[in-house]
Homo-oligomer: A and B are copies of this chain.
Amino acid sequence: MRIGELSERTATSRRLLRYYEEQGLINSARSPNGYRAYDAKLVDRVLQIRGLLDAGLPTRIIRRILPCLDKPRVIHFPDATPEMLATLEAERDRMTERIACLIRNRDAVAAYLDAVRETRAQR
């Protein structure tokens, strides 16, 4: 798959796909003519990246956690340093905090909307 197709299938600009590659989030083979060639698996990977970026994680962090997300499960860092593991644990905890924050606020927005509808229904 070339960049145009991956771009369409992920609703991501070509520019960004090249940027993600530059940031080490995805990689591509090159055809003899220099065109990038992508594996079909990259579609999911790119969507995952976009989701994480949208959730506020910077590429630096995403790069670190992506190797944990592969299926089938493979241990990529059998000899990961304690620092690496600590980083991942910290990131996991930060994600948990984000989740809690988002749930709290999403529920409040939802409750607000419900209350507004309630008010209107009574009139």
Chain A residues engaging chain B, CB cutoff 8 angstroms: 48, 51-56, 65, 68-69, 73, 75, 77-78, 80, 85, 88-89, 91-92, 95-99, 101-103, 105-106, 108-113, 115-116, 119
**Bound Cα distance from A70 to B80, whole angstroms:** 45
Contacts of A106 in B (CB 8 A): 92, 95-96, 99
Specify how many copies of this chain sit in the oligomer: 2
Minimum CB–CB distance from A61 to chain B (whole Å) comes to 10
Contacts of A119 in B (CB 8 A): 75, 78
Given contacts A80-B116, A92-B106, A119-B78, contact A101 B52 (CB under 8 A): yes
Contacts of A65 in B (CB 8 A): 105, 108-109
